[in-house]
Amino acid sequence: MTRIISLTALVAALVASSAARPSPNTHAVHEKRGAISSRWASSLRVRSDADVHVKIGLKQNNLHRGHDMLMDVSQPSSDNYGNFYTEDEITEIFAPTDDSVNAVKSWLTSSGIHDLRITHSDNKGWLAFIASGEELESLLHTDFYEYEDLETGDRNIATEQYHVPKHIQEHVDYITPGIRFPFLRNPELAKAKRSSSSRKVYNTFQSRPAPPGKIHGAKNTTTGCDEVITPDCVAALYQIPKRTDTPSPNNSLGIFEEGDFYTQADLDSFFTRFSSYKIPNGTAPTPAFIDGAKAPGDIAGGESNLDFQLAYPIVYPQNITLYQTDDSYYAEGYAQGLFNTFLDAIDGSYCTSCYAGECGNSPIDPVYPNNNTSSGYQGKLMCGTYKPTNVISVSYGAAEDYVPQSYYERQCNEFMKLGLRGVSVFFSSGDSGVASRSGCLGNDSTIFNPGWPASCPYITSVGATKIPANRTASDPEVAANDPAGHPYSSAYATGGGFSNIFGIPDYQADAVANYFKNHNPSYPYYNGSILGENGGIYNRSGRGYPDVSANGDNIAVVVQGEDSLSGGTSASSPIFASIVNRIIDERIAAGKPGPLGFLNPILYQNADAFNDITEGTNSGCGTDGFSTAPGWDPVTGLGTPIYPKLRDVLLKV
C-alpha cells in the first residue's frame, strides 16, 4: 500500500455518493471489503489525473501443496524424508506461472496499459505500473477514494470493491490500491521513537539481580540448580554430554536479534565465570548483519546476552551466526512489523512474493534505502543475501493479533518454505501464559490471546520450565509460572494455548485429542469462526502450542557487568535449538546429511525422548490457564529434551 503522492495532489472534490459502478458481465468482484476502523476518514475521490502506483500481486503457484510437500520431507516414514529443496527450487515451485503473468499482462495491454509501462518483479511476484486515477477506475470498474487515519495522518487510497475479468481471477492474488488498509499504527509509535518498554512487546526475557555470589557455579548441580541455573545445570537437566567431538564447519547455530545487542565484555565475563567450558575471551558470533544492523552494541541487551550465554556452553566450539536485523532507525525506533526483513535476507523470493494481500514487505515494515541519513541504512533491501543456517532460534514475538492476519499467514508460509529447505526454526512461546503481553481478547478481556509466531504450525514452539525450590536437576521440572514480584517484577508464565488462525495440524492431532479426551479443561470454548461464541474463552479447533519446552527461570547471566538471573521462554528456545544443533554435528560426524528441517512430525512421534512435565499451569486472563498433564499439553508441549534419547531418534533418520 504505497503512499506516493501528497493528499492535495490526489484529491479532487467531495463526492456525495459512493454507489458502485456497473461492470460488464465478463467481470466479477475480485475483492470486497468489510467495515473499516472509524479512524479512517474519507469521502475525497481520487483525482482523474493523479498518478497512482498500481501493483498486481500474482498468485503463488502450488502454495496449497506446500503443507503436503513439507510433510513428505519431514515424516520419517516417507520415502522422501530429508530430500530437502534448494532455494532456487523453492523459488521456482512457488513462483507464479508464466501463464499467469501472460494472462494478466494481456488483460492490461488490451485495456490500454502499454506493455512498456509494466514492470515485472525479478522473481515474478508482481506486475507494477503507474496509472492515472481515471485509468485505474476504469480498469477495475470502481471508484477510488483517499482515506486518512485521523490519529497518525497515514493515508491510503482504497475502494469498497473492485472487478477483474473472470478469467483473470485465478491468477491474481490482489491489487493495490484496492480494498486494503494498512495496519493502524500506534499513534505513539508514529510520533515518537519506540520506547524501551514498548520494545519489550517483542523479546521475551525476564530478569532480576542475582543473589550475591550465587552465579559463580559455587554450588554443585545436585544442590544449587533450584536457585541458579548454570551451564552445568542445563547439561545435567537434559543429559547433554561434555563436548569432545569436532564440530562441522557447515553447521553454525543461527540466532535472530533485533534492537537488542550483545557486548563482548559481558560474554567474556561469563566465559571466565564458567571457565570449565573453555570458551576463550573474544569468542563472538559470526556476523550476518541485515539491512544496516550492527553488533555488538554499546549497551548490553538482556535478550542477546541471555541467548549467547546459554547457547555457547552447549555448542562451543561450534560457531553461532548472528542474524542481527535492521538499521538502528527501525530496530530501536520506528518499525512495528517484525521478521519480514530477516526473512527477505535469507530468501530472496520473499522480498516480492504475494500472499493474501501482502506483497513483499508491509507498510508496517522497514523501508530501504532508509531516507534518514543519520541513522538509516542507505543500501538496498537485502534479498537472499545470506544462506540460512540449519537451525535458527528466535526469542521474539507478540500476540497473533499484533499484526494483520494476512501478514502472519504470509510469514507462516515462509517458515514452511524454510522447512522445505531443511531449516529447523525454533520460537519462544511467550511469557504471558494464555494471555499475551498486550492482554486478552474480547469485550471483557477474558478470552485467551495466542502468540505470534508461536502458533504457526510450521515452527517448533518452545515453552519454559523451572526447577522448584529444593529440587535438583534430576528431579522433575514444572511449568514456569511466577507471580508478579516473585522473583521478577512482573508476572511471568510460560506461553501456550490454541491458535485463532491455524487449525490443528495432522502431526499433533492425536496429541491434542488425547489432551482433550483425558484432561479436558473446564473452560467453555468456541469451535467456529466467532470469537467468544457460547461464552467460550479458547479455540477448540486451533493449533496447540508449545510443541516442546526447556528451562527458562533463574538463569545465570552477566549483563552490563552485573550478575543477574534471567528467565523467560527466551531462554528455552536457544537451549532447545542448541541441542538440535549439537545433534546435527553428530549426524554429520556419522556421515549423514546434517539438516533436519521441520522437526515437529518426528518429535510428536517420539514423545519418550522427552521428560514429560506434569506439574504446573500457564496462568493468564484471570484464570489459572491450562494445566500440564501426562503426554502433550498446551503448557509445556511434549516436555523437555533428553539428549541421549533425542540423539538416538535423530541419528536414526
Write down the least CB distance from residue 366 to ligand NAG, Å: 9
CA distances (Å), origin 234, targets 207, 240, 607: 18, 8, 20
Of 204-212, 218-226, 229-237, 547-555, which segment contacts ligand NAG by CB under 6 A?
Answer: 218-226
Return the residues of window 290-319 that contact ligand NAG according to CB under 6 A.
317-319
Span between the terminal Cα atoms of the chain, in Å: 45
Distance CA 321, CA 206 (A): 24
Distance CA 546, CA 204 (A): 15
Handedness of CA 96, 348, 78, 547 (dihedral sign): negative
Which residues, at least 6 apart from 144, have a Cβ–Cβ distance to it below 8 Å? 45, 46, 52, 133, 136, 137, 157, 158, 159, 177
x-marked contacts with ligand NAG along 33-72 as a string, rule CB under 6 A: ----------------------------------------
Q: Which of 307, 358, 414, 585 is catalytic?
A: 307
Among 96, 254, 333, 360, binds ligand NAG (CB under 6 A): 333
Q: Is residue 530 at the binding interface for ligand NAG, with CB under 6 A as the rule? A: yes
Q: What φ, ψ does residue 390 adopt, rounded to 5°? A: -65, -30
Applying CB under 6 A, the site for ligand NAG has a residue count of: 41
Distance CA 76, CA 65 (A): 19
CA distances (Å), origin 397, targets 201, 202, 205, 402, 459: 7, 5, 11, 9, 13
Contact 70/161 with Cβ under 8 angstroms?
Answer: no
- Residue 469 or 484: the one with the smaller Cβ distance to ligand NAG is 469
Q: Write down the residue that cell numbers 510460560 correspond to.
A: 494
Write down the least CB distance from residue 543 to ligand NAG, Å: 7
Q: Which of 570, 578, 619, 627 is catalytic?
A: 570
584 known ligand binder: no
Q: What φ, ψ does residue 493 adopt, rounded to 5°? A: -140, 140
Q: Which of 135, 137, 291, 303 is catalytic?
A: 303
Return the residues of window 346-405 that contact ligand NAG according to CB under 6 A.
367, 371-372, 374-375
Q: Measured at the alpha carbon of residue 171, what is the angle toward residues 167 and 177, in degrees to the nearest 5?
A: 100
Whether 298 sits among the annotated catalytic residues: the reply is no
Write down the least CB distance from residue 191 to ligand NAG, Å: 12
CA distances (Å), origin 523, targets 401, 623, 652: 22, 9, 41
Q: Is residue 22 at the binding interface for ligand NAG, with CB under 6 A as the rule? A: no
Of 94-102, 299-307, 534-542, 621-629, which segment contacts ligand NAG by CB under 6 A?
Answer: 534-542
E strands within 258-365? 286-287, 320-324, 354-355, 358-359
Return the residues of window 427-446 that contact ligand NAG according to CB under 6 A.
442-443
Contact 624/449 with Cβ under 8 angstroms?
Answer: no
Q: Measured at the alpha carbon of residue 612, what is the angle toward residues 607 and 616, in degrees to the nearest 5?
A: 145
x-marked contacts with ligand NAG along 74-103 as a string, rule CB under 6 A: ------------------------------
Of 140-148, 217-225, 235-243, 413-421, which segment contacts ligand NAG by CB under 6 A?
Answer: 217-225
Classify the phi-psi angles of 84: left when phi > 0, otherwise alpha if psi is within -120 to 50, otherwise beta: beta
Give the three cell numbers for residue 486.
516473585
Contact 348/123 with Cβ under 8 angstroms?
Answer: yes
- Residue 138 or 152: the one with the smaller Cβ distance to ligand NAG is 152
Among 109, 152, 198, 220, binds ligand NAG (CB under 6 A): 220
Contact 108/127 with Cβ under 8 angstroms?
Answer: yes
Return the residues of window 439-498 that contact ligand NAG according to CB under 6 A.
442-443, 469-470
298 known ligand binder: no
Q: Is residue 532 at the binding interface for ligand NAG, with CB under 6 A as the rule? A: yes
Q: Is residue 223 at the binding interface for ligand NAG, with CB under 6 A as the rule? A: yes
x-marked contacts with ligand NAG along 569-588 as a string, rule CB under 6 A: -------------------x
Q: Is residue 268 at the binding interface for ligand NAG, with CB under 6 A as the rule? A: yes
631 known ligand binder: yes
Which residues, at least 6 apart from 449, have a Cβ–Cβ distance to it below 8 Å? 399, 400, 401, 432, 434, 435, 436, 438, 439, 440, 441, 620, 621
Write down the least CB distance from residue 250 to ligand NAG, Å: 4
Buried b (16+ CB within 10 A) or exposed e, 228-253: bbbbbbbbbbbbbeebeeebbeebbb
x-marked contacts with ligand NAG along 537-566 as a string, rule CB under 6 A: --xxxx------------------------
- Residue 45 or 587: the one with the smaller Cβ distance to ligand NAG is 587
125 known ligand binder: no
Write down the least CB distance from residue 587 to ligand NAG, Å: 11
Among 37, 62, 250, 560, binds ligand NAG (CB under 6 A): 250
Write down the least CB distance from residue 100 to ligand NAG, Å: 27
Give the three cell numbers for residue 480.
514456569
Distance CA 215, CA 588 (A): 35
Contact 162/142 with Cβ under 8 angstroms?
Answer: yes
Return the residues of window 172-191 that contact ligand NAG according to CB under 6 A.
none
- Residue 159 or 500: the one with the smaller Cβ distance to ligand NAG is 500
- Residue 26 or 272: the one with the smaller Cβ distance to ligand NAG is 272
Whether 303 sits among the annotated catalytic residues: the reply is yes
Edge-to-edge, what's the strand order for the sheet holding 562-567?
A: 206-209, 562-567, 555-559
Among 26, 62, 106, 281, binds ligand NAG (CB under 6 A): 281
Among 43, 272, 378, 445, binds ligand NAG (CB under 6 A): 272
In the three-class reduction of DSSP (H, G, I as helix; E, B as strand; rest coil), residue 375 is classed as coil
Distance CA 569, CA 224 (A): 21
Contact 80/70 with Cβ under 8 angstroms?
Answer: no
Among 18, 378, 518, 527, binds ligand NAG (CB under 6 A): 527
- Residue 26 or 534: the one with the smaller Cβ distance to ligand NAG is 534
Known binding-site positions for Ca(2+): 612-613, 631, 633
Catalytic residues: 303, 307, 570
Binding site for ligand NAG (CB under 6 A): 220, 222-223, 247-250, 265, 268-269, 272, 281, 286, 317-319, 328-329, 333, 367, 371-372, 374-375, 442-443, 469-470, 500, 503, 526-527, 529-532, 539-542, 588
Known binding-site positions: 612-613, 631, 633
